[in-house]
């Protein structure tokens, strides 16, 4: 540099000319004499040293180069930090922080450390905290639980206390910044997003039998009758009247017709028998499918209203007929218990009915929902249901009058979010549980909330030990799940592109414990992962067995009387599991928007009730802490087991060098799905050519075999580069050298990902300046509308400070030898990590290959061609839904061919991507 600068010094005007009239420097100006050269070299080097050591760091300290400048304490979400773009600057910071690393638990040590944290008494205390009062979505009690969970995240994750509450209206700059800046955060963070869906609450309700003379002969008592033995149920007996969420406001009068479970097959049987349902009131029992689809089927056949009751035949052997006493004095059903619940048409689309496919902001444009009923309905207890059944069986012809008036309005709900940044910030593991309940909700959802509470405590303990996950972890406490997966769906629709770009997997926990049998639902990519992690944990009540052995457990309350039809229905549901024993995902919890809409590999698990377990009072006032501690899980051993499993799965998904997805199992599961569909098509006499689809599946199987070998080789290559033991065992002692190498890995990962930033969401793009009032209130002034629209569509938003792109960032010059150089990752480590990142990209996007932009026929919100909730089941998952329903429901050979071709193309594209 000094030589070049010397040659560019101004020269005297004296020149000589050649014959061609071109100027030629005089000989004495062509080369500096040796003394001058040495002098220039000395002073140039001194100036260069002064610039790099003193002047350059001083320049970089100014806010224009990205160092945070003082600003209003509430001008951005709490603890959202600027991350330097320049790879060299990131490298310098990472190396500097690696010089003094405390010993931290890693690998198996981190897993074992977390497994020591969940304990019974803490889980009981958490359950009592959240189930001590009603917390219906949108209520004051619901807001209190949101603030309680936010306090938990701030306390355990060591989030610095903000100057103002981090509660942001959805759609505001602050709300969007909180999520979109996750990739750039180095510190933990927690906040609340407020969405504004349309919900309803009950007003006037009644049910009467009216004689031919117009006189009322019977009036039902629609409310549950509490017993003093359950103090919480007694205290809140009238807090949330028995009603259906999102039910139609209206009145109906007609003759009563019984329709069994209200399945599509039940209504088809009535039609075949010549029964005319027009203008009738339909009586059905709970079970078999989602309650909203019972109303939908009746409405499509012209019914005027629907009544749904709880039937003792669905309680298995735990009935008074088998000499079991009713709750609260025994394990059988309280005959006055009523199951509240949403009657949204869940299989059409979930979430806010008035904002399908886009988020429910306070000022969102709203439409008339097409996934809610247009006829009224009411839930009934066994006492009322039995009375009406006796009247029907007695041959009486009578008229029923149903009144259901509800208050339907835009209602605020609160999603609580917490972030634990990882070394790899563009790969995120989301862990979620919904928090709202119909009344007390000690089981649904507070058993899951208590388990997540223990996991958060475990994360906090690890963080205090200096641990940081390899991938970022996002904790979510969803709201308004009970109305139709509202909180998670609105957030998913709000951050669709961010989820697609960053989320690797979603772990869901809903009701953690309501019986004795462990059950899991998941994408086939995670079937083996669930079984393997469950096998590593002890059985909650039998130390000689593993948690996975609990998949065969059943209750101890047996008896002679057990309804055969109800048992057959329960057995049929269990047959849907794959050969590992994991059920497909439907739409029965908050994983729906992740897997069905975005193609994010997901799982959910917990203990479910069998026909010989104490009767769980679903969505009743008797879903209380007393029932949970006395009958559901005495001692909370199962709560702790679920918490440990959830924590182990979270740590392993976030810390595994290669994402533990089994694509080969998925490919072979597809073949088994196709076998069943071919059998169904043959039984329905549908002629279809499935050979091209089967060939595509076979191609995917072969490509997956190759990927399996690549995964193994890449992981071994990276472990060797990081210094892992050759015997594939994890470390049993703290290893500061490995920690240092992981920091270098973190540094180099920033280098790799920065090269691809232009092709991903423009996270390093320009950012609007946010005024303090706008950030706090969520009010976006007109001059910022364009920026907000841009960030909404592209996912571009980072901390509201001056930010420059990679190319604009000034690079620190390197010192020449013999000055010390910043430590660089070894070339082997660089190559190994690049290879692992490439393979992980294939694994993370495998499930997304089934997402089709046109969605499923007649329910376009659902986009996953591999699995979806059954059109007439709602809760349960239907594999290959478009093809399956073309065979079983439409019975249309042309439609079968169309769906088979869509699947073939999707599967071939997945195979091509994993071969690349």
Give, in order, the Cα–Cα distances in Å from 577 to each of 511, 522, 882. Answer: 20, 10, 19
Query: Closest Cα partner for 528 from 554, 548, 557?
Result: 548
d(CA 297, CA 274): 16
* CA gap 705, 724 in Å, rounded: 25
- Name every residue whose Cβ is closer than 8 Å to that of residue 266 and which is 6 or more positions away in sequence: 259, 260, 284
Q: Are 193 and 414 in contact (CB under 8 A)?
A: yes
**What is the C-alpha separation between 586 and 510, in angstroms, rounded?**
14
Cβ proximity of 624 and 442 under 8 Å: yes
Catalytic residue among 224, 481, 490, 908: 481
Inter-axis angle of helices 785-794 and 173-180, nearest 10: 30
CB atoms within 10 A of CB 3: 12
Reduce the DSSP state of residue 761 to 3 states and report it: coil
677 three-state secondary structure: helix
Report the alpha-carbon distance of residue 101 to residue 435 in Å, rounded: 38
Q: From residue 398, give the alpha-carbon distance in Å to each of 220, 246, 267, 277, 401.
A: 15, 28, 21, 15, 10
Q: Which of 43, 39, 72, 115 is nearest to 648 (CA)?
A: 115
Is residue 156 annotated as part of the catalytic site, yes or no? no
**Which residue bears the tokens 């009690």?**
141
Q: Which residues contact 23 (CB under 8 A, 6 or more apart)?
A: 15, 16, 17
- Give percent helix, percent strand, percent coil of the chain, each to the nearest 5: 45, 15, 40
Angle at 350 between CA 446 and CA 676, to 5 degrees: 100
- Cα-based distances in Å from 80 to 75, 352, 464, 673, 798: 10, 29, 20, 46, 9
From the list 545, 554, 747, 742, the residue with the least C-alpha distance to 657 is 742
Cα-based torsion angle of the residue sequence 428, 513, 295, 878 in order, rounded to the nearest 10 degrees: 50
Question: Is the link from the previous residue into 818 a cis peptide, with omega within 30 of 0?
Answer: yes
DSSP code string of 295-335: HHHHHHTT-SEEEEE--GGGGTT-SGGGTPPBTTSSSBPPT
Structure tokens at 860: 């376009």
Q: How far apart are CA 165 and CA 761, in angstroms?
A: 29
User: 65 and 59 in contact (C-beta within 8 Å)?
Assistant: yes
Q: Helix, strand, or coil here: 505?
A: strand
Closest to 595 in 3D by CA, of 864, 910, 878, 356:
864
Angle among Cα 874, 879, 883 to the nearest 5 degrees reads 100
For residue 53, what is the DSSP state? Answer: I
Residue 362: name the closest of 470, 451, 494 by CA. 494
Dihedral sign (CA 547, 552, 557, 562) = positive
> How far is residue 269 from each of residues 272, 273, 289, measured CA to CA in Å?
5, 6, 16
Q: Are 329 and 347 in contact (CB under 8 A)?
A: no
- Residue 637 to residue 644: CA distance in whole angstroms: 11
Catalytic residue set? 481
């Amino acid at each position: 540099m000094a030589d070049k600068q010397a040659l560019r010094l101004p020269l005297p005007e004296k020149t000589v000319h050649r014959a061609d009239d071109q100027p030629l420097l005089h000989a004495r100006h062509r080369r500096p004499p040796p003394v001058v050269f040495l002098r220039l070299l000395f002073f140039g080097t001194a100036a260069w040293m002064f610039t790099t050591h003193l002047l350059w760091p001083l320049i970089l300290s100014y806010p224009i180069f990205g160092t945070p400048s003082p600003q209003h304490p509430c001008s951005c979400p709490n603890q959202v930090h600027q991350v330097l773009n320049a790879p060299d600057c990131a490298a310098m910071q990472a190396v500097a922080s690696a010089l003094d690393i405390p010993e931290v638990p890693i690998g198996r040590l981190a897993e074992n450390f977390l497994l020591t944290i969940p304990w019974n008494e803490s889980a009981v205390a958490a359950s009592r905290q959240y189930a001590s009062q009603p917390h219906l979505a949108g209520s004051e009690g619901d807001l209190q639980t949101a603030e309680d969970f936010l306090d938990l995240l701030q306390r355990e994750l060591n989030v610095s206390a903000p100057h103002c509450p981090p509660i942001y209206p959805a759609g505001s700059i602050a709300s969007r910044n909180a999520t979109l800046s996750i990739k750039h955060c180095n510190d933990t963070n927690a906040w609340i997003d407020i969405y504004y869906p349309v919900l309803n609450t009950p007003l006037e309700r009644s049910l009467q039998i009216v004689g031919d003379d117009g006189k009322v002969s019977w009036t039902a008592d629609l409310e549950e009758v509490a017993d003093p033995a359950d103090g919480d149920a007694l205290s809140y007996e009238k807090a949330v009247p028995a009603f259906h969420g999102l039910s139609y406001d209206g009145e109906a009068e007609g003759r009563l017709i019984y329709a069994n479970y209200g399945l599509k097959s039940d209504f088809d049987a009535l039609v075949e028998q010549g029964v005319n349902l027009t203008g009738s009131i339909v009586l059905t029992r709970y079970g078999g499918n989602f309650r909203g689809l019972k109303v939908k089927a009746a409405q499509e056949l012209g019914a005027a209203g629907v009544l749904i009751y709880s039937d003792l035949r669905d309680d298995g052997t735990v009935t008074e007929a088998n000499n079991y006493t009713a709750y609260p004095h025994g394990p059988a059903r309280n005959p006055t218990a009523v199951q509240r619940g949403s009657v949204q048409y869940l299989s059409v689309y979930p979430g806010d009915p008035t904002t399908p496919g886009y988020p429910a902001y306070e000022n969102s444009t709203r439409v008339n929902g097409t996934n809610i009923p247009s006829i009224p309905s009411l839930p009934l207890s066994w006492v009322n249901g039995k009375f009406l059944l006796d009247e029907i069986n007695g041959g009486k012809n009578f008229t029923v009058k149903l009144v259901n008036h509800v208050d339907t309005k835009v209602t605020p709900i609160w999603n609580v979010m917490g972030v634990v940044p990882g070394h790899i910030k563009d790969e995120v593991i989301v862990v979620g549980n919904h928090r709202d309940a119909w009344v007390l909700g000690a089981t649904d959802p507070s058993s899951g909330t208590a388990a997540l509470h223990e996991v958060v405590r475990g994360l906090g303990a690890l963080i205090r030990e200096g641990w940081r996950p390899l991938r970022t972890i996002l904790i979510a406490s969803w709201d308004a799940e009970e109305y139709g997966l509202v909180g998670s769906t609105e957030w998913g629709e709000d951050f669709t592109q961010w989820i697609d770009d960053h989320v690797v997997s979603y772990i869901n926990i809903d009701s953690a414990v309501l019986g004795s049998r462990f059950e899991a639902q998941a994408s086939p990519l995670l079937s083996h992962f669930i079984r393997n992690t469950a096998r590593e944990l002890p059985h909650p009540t039998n130390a000689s067995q593993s948690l996975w052995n609990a998949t065969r457990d059943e209750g101890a309350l047996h008896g002679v009387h057990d309804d055969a039809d109800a048992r057959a229905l329960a057995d049929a549901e269990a047959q849907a599991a794959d050969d590992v024993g994991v059920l497909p995902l439907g739409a029965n919890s908050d994983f729906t928007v992740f897997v069905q809409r975005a193609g994010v590999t997901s799982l959910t698990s917990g203990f479910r009730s069998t026909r010989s377990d104490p009767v769980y009072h679903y969505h009743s006032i008797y879903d209380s802490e007393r029932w949970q501690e006395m009958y559901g899980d005495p001692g909370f051993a199962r709560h702790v087991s679920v918490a440990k499993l959830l924590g182990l799965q979270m740590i392993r998904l976030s810390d595994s060098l290669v994402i533990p997805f089994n694509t080969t199992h998925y490919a072979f599961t597809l073949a088994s799905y196709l076998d069943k569909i071919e059998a169904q098509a043959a039984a329905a006499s549908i002629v279809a050519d499935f050979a091209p689809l089967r060939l595509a599946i076979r191609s995917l199987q072969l490509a997956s075999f190759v990927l399996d070998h690549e995964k193994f080789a890449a992981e071994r290559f990276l472990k060797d580069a990081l210094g892992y033991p050759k015997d594939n065992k994890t470390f049993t002692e703290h290893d500061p050298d490995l920690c240092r190498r992981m920091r270098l890995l973190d540094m180099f990962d920033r280098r790799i990902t920065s090269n691809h930033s232009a092709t991903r969401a423009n996270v390093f793009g320009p950012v609007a300046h946010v005024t303090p009032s706008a950030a706090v209130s969520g009010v976006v002034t007109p001059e910022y509308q364009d920026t907000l629209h841009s960030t909404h569509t592209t996912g571009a938003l980072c901390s509201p400070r001056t930010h420059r792109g990679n190319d604009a960032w000034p690079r620190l010059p390197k010192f020449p030898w013999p000055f010390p150089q910043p430590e660089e990752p070894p070339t082997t480590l660089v190559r190994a990590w690049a290879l692992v990142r490439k393979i992980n990209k294939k694994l993370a996007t495998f499930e997304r290959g089934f997402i089709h932009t046109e969605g499923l026929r007649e329910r376009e919100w659902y986009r996953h061609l591999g699995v979806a909730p059954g059109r007439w089941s709602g809760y349960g998952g239907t594999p290959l839904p478009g093809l399956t329903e073309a065979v079983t429901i439409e019975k249309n050979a042309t439609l079968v061919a169309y769906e088979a071709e869509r699947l073939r193309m999707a599967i071939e594209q997945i195979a091509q991507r994993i071969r690349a």
